Amino acid sequence: MAYVNEPFSGEDNNFAIVKQAQGKVLGRLRYEVKSSMPSAGVKDYRFFADPLSPVPSEYENAVKFGFTGFMSRLDCKFDKIKNEEEAVQFLKENYKDCLVTFTPALRNNKFFVLDDLQKEGKTLFMDTDKDYVPVPVFGTVEHPVFGGNINKFCFHMKEGKPLPGLSKKYWDNEMEPEFVIATMKTYEGKIGPYIIFAPLYNDVFNSEVIGEGGAYFKSKRNSALGYALYDMQNTELKNHVLRCAKSPLWFIPREYLPEFRKNLKPVPQDGDILKDLGIEIIHDPIFLPAKENVLKIEETLADMVKNNNKENEIKTEDKKYDEKDFIKHLIKSSKDMGFLYSEKDLINFHISMKSSRLVILSGMSGIGKSGLVRTYGKALGLPKERTVLIPVRPSWMDDGDLLGYVDMKNMIYRPADTGLSELLIDAEKNPEKLYIICFDEMNLARAEHYFAQFISVLENEEEMKIRLYNPSLATRIYNSNQYPPEITIGNNIMFVGTVNVDESTYKFSDKILDRSNVITLKQGKFVNLSNVRNSKDINSREISATEFNTFRKTGDIELTEEELKFLDELNDSFYESGIMCGIGFRVAKQLDNYLKNIPDKINFTRKEGIDVQTVQRILTKIHGSSQQLKTLIDHDEEGNLTGKIAQVLDKYKNISMFEETRRVLKEKSGELKFYDYTL
């Protein structure tokens, strides 16, 4: 923050200390002024601006009170303004149909003032849009960044090299940019002129963007970099965007940010954006001696043939491995490995794996819970060392049994024999590779104890780190270079647990059930055994983390009003019954995430998704005695479901028939009748 000794900047002060903040703020001027006496014998008028974009943390109260400036600093004939009415008229005439940008400042540590006011343009919806967010923009259409060489810009983004044009004058380092925009050559109108770069999978860039030599952009959770072309023909978006006249910024209403990100696709590994967009570049002539020139031409022709073959291979593979075809491959792989999983279970498992950080497989012993994990890994083309089953031991008491501990006597970190620490470190070093970690018979020990750190990680999406030991010990631990104090858990790791329900196991608490999809696998029919084979040779192309994450869909909650009412009424029935069970916001958000991740045009509908999520996310938490649950779950003499839950299901059968939910409720009702309790 800059400090300035400013003359005539405050009433009763010849000089005032002004602290200038970093970055620009978008605002709107009020048609209101107040007479002011900055110093003896000097008359001025104060005007006011309301911020429309985020302000630095020190200036949060200014959102309520606004920023103030002096008319004498505006480009006007100030000495001819006679009174407040004329000053207001000047503002109306000159700033009526526009927004402004300015630098926030703090005068004498208590007055919010604005500096470097810049008149900007207008947007069609400037009177209704709000909560604008600044987005860095590199270059202009007339002068694109790096001369329009978008591949060079992409290289700087990927390799963490500085980008020119953005400084603390324009950008506040407290901000975490969701994406950046660059200008590029249009190649005779084929593409551009704007291209968006952003971390994939709903990630953002780190704050502390401005560093030595320029601006740096690194994703907060180590997500892969994605890009998308900005559609200039999309007039709806264009009418909401304020493009600054002199600052390298656009201001976009927060509600429209997802529209810019929705067409993101992974940046190619070689960073060649133009090639990925189908733009052929004719390179400059080769000025070499004749013999070298011939060799160079031969090499170029050979590369063209090789690249053409690769392109054909890639097109074939891309066609083969979209998500629908992956699901078909998964179903075929399960049969080839000799399992009798139903198609619905396999599809449900796949959707759960990509939409939830923890999936728990339940079912009778020997049904193939661990086998499903191995099948899924093989269908993804993962080697055995990246589809790992960790047998849980009944003696485990804390995460030291799972991860390891610090030997304070010898000052070394001793990893547990599970190999989990090494696996997590390897996954952190290889974010482009997928890993599946399965905790086999997860409830043989109390998961709330040994799995405590992971529960916190599943809760905190922004800071997903597992701590091996206190970072303050790192300089004293001899093998800290091999075992760092903290490991970042990326979205290239999928966690699965298998459970049996018997007298030798522990019941999960709501703390874990809230954070997981609990799938109870169904037993297949033995008569279908003749249709399966037992082959160890499953041919699968390995799917990278980047490819797998293209299957994932994220964004704001998209549950319909009817679906939200269903959750509310279900919640009300729980509260009225007095049981310790409820549907929290986390569960509703995860249910929505599951539904939006159901692939199009497959044998699994949204109505079925609502049904299985009601079972997997809500009914798993209903347990207790018949006295506690009799108003919720019951059935009449003819076996028809009664009780408050059944009434809610009947009322909302337009969103789902709840066939699976009713089946589970009948099971629970039977348990209450015969055993007087249900688990």
Both 571 and 658 in one domain: the answer is yes
Both 377 and 484 in one domain: the answer is yes
Q: Which two tokens stand for residue 158?
A: 């990927």
CA distance to 122, 197, 399, 652, per residue, from 614 (Å): 47, 37, 31, 13
Query: What DSSP character marks residue 178?
Result: S
What's the pLDDT at 418?
Answer: 94
β-strand partners of 183: 194
Select, from the ranges 289-303, 428-442, 658-672, the one with the highest average predicted confidence (pLDDT).
428-442
Query: Is 409 within a domain?
Result: yes
- pLDDT, one tens digit per residue, over 346-374 is 999 999 999 999 999 998 888 899 999 99
Token pair 């000799």 is at which residue? Answer: 338
User: How would you classify the pairing of strands 358-362 and 517-520?
Assistant: parallel
Both 115 and 190 in one domain: the answer is no
Model confidence at 7: pLDDT above 50: no
- pLDDT, one tens digit per residue, over 468-495 is 999 999 999 999 999 999 999 999 999 9
Q: How many residues are given for the chain?
A: 679
Question: What's the CA gap between 417 and 414, in Å, rounded?
Answer: 9
Tell which of 249, 276, 303 closes a domain. Answer: 276
- pLDDT, one tens digit per residue, over 244-285 is 999 999 999 999 999 998 889 999 988 889 999 988 765 433
β-strand partners of 111: 107
- pLDDT, one tens digit per residue, over 21-48 is 899 999 999 999 998 876 656 778 889 9
Query: Is 538 within a domain?
Result: no
Average the pLDDT over 91-104 and give the result. Answer: 92
- What is the biggest distance separating any 2 CA atoms in the chain, rounded to whole angstroms? 101
Model confidence at 341: pLDDT above 70: yes
Both 349 and 485 in one domain: the answer is yes
Average the pLDDT over 38-62 and give the result. Answer: 84
Model confidence at 640: pLDDT above 70: yes
Average the pLDDT over 156-168 and give the result. Answer: 88
For the whole model, what pTM was predicted? 0.56
Query: What DSSP character marks residue 365?
Result: T
**Which residues does 327 contact at the CB level (< 8 Å), separation at least 6?**
346, 347, 350, 599, 602
Q: Where are the alpha helices (DSSP H) in 407-465?
A: 420-429, 447-450, 452-459
Model confidence at 177: pLDDT above 90: yes
CA distance to 340, 405, 420, 439, 498, per residue, from 369 (Å): 11, 31, 20, 11, 6
**Which residues does 473 contact at the CB level (< 8 Å), separation at least 6?**
406, 480, 485
Tell which of 472, 503, 523 closes a domain. Answer: 523
Token pair 């938490």 is at which residue? Answer: 621
Question: What's the CA gap between 167 and 170, in Å, rounded?
Answer: 6
Omega cis (within 30) before 193: yes
- pLDDT, one tens digit per residue, over 306-324 is 555 544 444 444 444 589 9
Both 51 and 76 in one domain: the answer is yes
What is the percent of the chain where pLDDT is above 70? 87
- pLDDT, one tens digit per residue, over 115-130 is 889 999 999 999 999 9
**Which residues does 228 contact at the CB level (< 8 Å), separation at least 6?**
195, 196, 198, 260, 261, 262, 263, 264, 265
- Nearest-5° angle of CA 346, CA 351, CA 352? 95
Both 138 and 84 in one domain: the answer is no
Both 115 and 136 in one domain: the answer is no
Query: Is 127 within a domain?
Result: no
Query: Is 90 within a domain?
Result: yes
Both 494 and 515 in one domain: the answer is yes
Query: Is 325 within a domain?
Result: no
Token pair 């809230």 is at which residue? Answer: 514
Model confidence at 461: pLDDT above 90: no
Both 249 and 218 in one domain: the answer is yes
Residue type (1 letter), 324? K
Q: Which two tokens stand for residue 482?
A: 């091999």
What's the pLDDT at 318?
Answer: 44
Average the pLDDT over 78-92 and give the result. Answer: 85
Both 394 and 510 in one domain: the answer is yes
Both 241 and 159 in one domain: the answer is yes
Query: Is 413 within a domain?
Result: yes
| Cβ atoms of 139 and 165 closer than 8 Å | yes
What's the pLDDT at 313?
Answer: 45
Average pLDDT of the chain is 85
Token pair 């013999």 is at which residue? Answer: 291
Both 385 and 427 in one domain: the answer is yes
Q: Half-sphere exposure of residue 295, counting CA atoms within 13 Å on the CB side?
A: 5
Question: What's the CA gap between 464 and 610, in Å, rounded?
Answer: 28
- pLDDT, one tens digit per residue, over 189-244 is 778 789 999 998 877 888 778 886 789 998 877 788 999 998 777 778 899 999 99
Tell which of 86, 119, 152 closes a domain. Answer: 119
Number of domains in the chain: 4
Question: What's the CA gap between 170 and 209, in Å, rounded?
Answer: 11
Domain that holds residue 649: 561-678
Query: Is 437 within a domain?
Result: yes
